[in-house]
Every structure is written in C-alpha cells, then in structure tokens.
Amino acid sequence: MAAVVKYRWVNEITSALPRRDRKGCEYEAYVPDRLIGRSFLLDGAVAADVADAERAIQRLDLQGTTLMDTEVLARLLLRAEAVASSHIEGLEVGGRRLLRAEAAKAMGTPAEDVTAEEVLGNIEAMTWAVTFLSTAEAITVDGLVEVHRRLLANTRFHDHAGKIRETQNWIGGSSYNPCSAAFVPPPPSEVRPLLDDLCRFCNDDNLPAVAQAAIAHAQFETIHPFADGNGRTGRTLIHVILRRRHLAPRVLPPVSLILATRARDYVAALMDTRYVGDPGSEPALAGLNRWVGLFAAAAERAVDDGLRFEARVRAIQEGWRHALGRVRKGSAVELLVGALPGAPIVAVKSASELIGRSYERTNEAIARLHEAGVLQPVKVGRRNRAFEARDVIAAFSDLERQLASPDAR
C-alpha cells in the first residue's frame, strides 16, 4: 500500500545561509503503490471521456493528411508540444525565435540563444523517443534513461543527464532542505524498483491507451527519478505510449500545450493521485479519476485545436498557390510549397536537401516564392541569409496562443 516514510534531515551547511535553509527537520517521503497487479476503476463519466479522447486522437491521425506530407503536420505539432513541455519547466521561447535557432543550427552556426538551444534539444529527444522507443520490443528503464540523457545532454544540467538519482530530491520549499517542501518523492532506494514496475505497466495493454498514458505519467512524476528534467521526460512518455499502442501512429496531439495552460489544475490533479493506504479506497479512486478525466479532456482539446491549425496551414498553402499562378507538378516550387510548413525558415542549401532538388533549381524556386510574397529574406545568426514563410510562423504562434487560452474552443 502507498505510504509516507519519515526521515530526519541534517543539513551539513551550517553557515552563509538563512536559518530556514540551514535547519534540520523530520520530513516525509512518499512511496507509491506498484502499478502491476493494481486494479484501476474508472467512473462511468471518466471512462466515457477516455473513449472520446481516443476517438479524437484517431481522428487527428486520420484527418491530418491534407498537407502534402503528413510528416509536415506531425513535425509542427511535435515542435509545439516540446515548446509547451519546456514552458512548464520555465523555458520560455516564442515560435519565431525557436524556428530561427533551428535554422541557424541547420546551417552550422554556433548557438547564441541558449534557451532556444535547450528547447531544440527537447524536440530532438522527443522525436527520438517516439520514433525508436515506441517501436522497441519493450519500454525499458534504460530507454527512459536514454530519453533523459538526450534531453539534458546539451544543457546546464548535463552532469545529471541519463543518471538515476542517488540522493533525495523534493519539490517546492527551500533549495537546501525538504523541511517545507510541497512534495517529497520516494527515497533513492525505491526508485529503481518503481521504475521497473512502471515499465512493465507501460508494456501492458489491459487499459485504454489514454488512461494508461495518464497513469504512467502520474507515476513517473511521483517517482521523480532524476535530479532534473523529470517533467519533460514524463511528458515524452505520454507520447511514447500513445504511439506504441498505435493510437497515434503518425500525428501526436500537443497535450502539454493544454496542460501548460491549466498548470495549477495539472499539478493539483497529479497531487490527488498520491493517496496513502488502500488503492481501492474512496480517496484513491477519486484522485485517480480526477487526474485521468483532466488528462482525457486535455487530449481531446489538443486534437480540436490541432485540426483547426492543420486547416489554417492548408488555407495558407492554397493562398500561396493562388499567388504563384501556374506551377509545374513535381517542380521545386511545388515541393517547397508542400514542405515549408514543416520548415518555415530555410536557406537555399537546407531547402535543396529538404526537397531533394539541385541547389540551382532550389535557388530559382526560392526567388519565385520571394517574388510572390511567400518568402521574405531574413538574417539568421550574424552572417547567414535565409528566407522565412511568415504566414506559417504567425499560424504557429497563434496555435500556441489558442491552446494557451483556457476558454478557447
């Protein structure tokens, strides 16, 4: 049964800190139940919400195909998801700023925007996870550790990358002791067994995929197995499960954009899953249902706004085609019209690689797109000249604002 375990904190730092930070205390670490063998009873309304969310996610995957390449929409929404997941952790970066940093990196320009660079690392780690971890024979602790390593490898926390914690951590309160913490995760000795159990749960198919992803995420955040980067790793796990269960084989719903909007409810609902005692008790079941219900609603909302975004991008492309006039099928111009939503800032070289056409043909196509008002020149870094599709960048920024509006529908 889930329990709290009492420990004594003795602070070894005795000077140069305020009294509240250097004091010792008794604190309680929370040890959750294992997931394997546990019964999960969803209320009728919550079960219906889960079913609605699953149908919505399938609709996004099936209907989000009107762009020339489904990967374009998938890449845009995955980028938006990684941005939102980073935002929850305090890494704030706007769409245009991120896209310019992404373009600069593709051109080999040294990183100047540290925050954008860290968010790009989040995108790459999430891409790797949903591509490889979701198709592996099984989700493993080593796989989760690798996701974490990729997330933190090029950040200021790189020393912690890919390392399961061996010390006690906590959330809230002082940075120097857990005396006033809002939550204290399990002690280090419990982390590995709990992660093994979590992975076994992730590889089981007995629950609906949305409920499984919600419960797995809550358990991961409760274990808090790393010194930093737990939130981003745990939200990546959501998409690994949705992809592994074939609910979203191509396009992932940007759930974190909704959770970031409702951050207070998100954190409160996670806390509600941390019962003490019998998992079949009324408080335990009520907490489970509050969290799964919130998660399912977030997933459904993410799909609705994702589809509206897809329709807007399609309309932008139609406007481009009208401005361009007659375009030869299979030409570099046509290929760029299809590819630009997924890469709204390009140089001639990167565009050439993107569409598989020669540098000369691509250069001519970019000139025509510029003349038609589709692309505008922009400087990336200190020296590199590139071109940006401002309509798409504006749509991407509006998507973030739309999903960040609690009352938007």
pLDDT digits (tens, 9 = 90+) for 224-255: 999 998 988 998 999 999 999 999 888 888 88
Q: How many CB atoms lie within 10 A of CB 52?
A: 16
Residue 214 lies in a domain: yes
pTM of the model: 0.87
User: What pLDDT was estimated at residue 409?
Assistant: 41
CB 61 within 8 A of CB 250: yes
Single out the residue in 288, 307, 326 at which a domain terminates. Answer: 307
Residue 36's nearest CA partner among 207, 186, 209 is 207
Asked whether residue 78 falls in the same domain as residue 216, the answer is yes
Provide the token pair at 278. 């019998």
Please count the structural domains in the chain. Answer: 2
Residue 381 lies in a domain: yes
Domain at 214, CATH number: 1.10.3290.10
Cα 144 to chain centroid, rounded: 14
Asked whether residue 298 falls in the same domain as residue 334, the answer is no
> In DSSP terms, which residues pair with 277 in a beta bridge?
2
In whole angstroms, give the CA distance from residue 275 to residue 3: 8
In whole angstroms, give the CA distance from residue 268 to residue 66: 38
Asked whether residue 315 falls in the same domain as residue 297, the answer is no
- Count Cβ atoms within 10 A of the Cβ of residue 166 and give its class: 0-12 exposed, 13-18 middle, 19 or more buried: exposed
In whole angstroms, give the CA distance from residue 334 to residue 152: 38
Residue 163 lies in a domain: yes
Residue 182 lies in a domain: no
| Domain of residue 318, residue span | 309-403
Residue 332's nearest CA partner among 373, 375, 365, 358 is 365
Residue 24's nearest CA partner among 250, 235, 176, 209 is 176
In whole angstroms, give the CA distance from residue 280 to residue 41: 8
User: What pLDDT was estimated at residue 144?
Assistant: 97
Residue 29 lies in a domain: no
Residue 340 lies in a domain: yes
User: What pLDDT was estimated at residue 102?
Assistant: 78
User: What pLDDT was estimated at residue 10?
Assistant: 87
User: What pLDDT was estimated at residue 33?
Assistant: 97
In whole angstroms, give the CA distance from residue 231 to residue 226: 10
Asked whether residue 229 falls in the same domain as residue 339, the answer is no
User: What pLDDT was estimated at residue 63?
Assistant: 77
b/e per residue 267-306 (b: at least 16 CB within 10 A): bebbbbbbbbeebeeeebbebbbbbbbbbbbbbbbbbbbb
CB 102 within 8 A of CB 120: yes
User: What pLDDT was estimated at residue 69?
Assistant: 46
Asked whether residue 143 falls in the same domain as residue 166, the answer is yes
In whole angstroms, give the CA distance from residue 229 to residue 221: 10
> Mean pLDDT, consecutive 10-residue segments, the chain of 409 residues?
93 71 88 95 97 94 59 69 69 71 74 74 85 93 96 85 95 90 96 98 96 97 95 91 91 81 89 95 96 96 85 92 94 94 88 94 96 91 81 82 52
The CA–CA distances, whole Å, from 38 to 3, 32, 159, 275, 278 equal: 15, 12, 36, 14, 10
User: What pLDDT was estimated at residue 92?
Assistant: 67
Residue 110 lies in a domain: yes
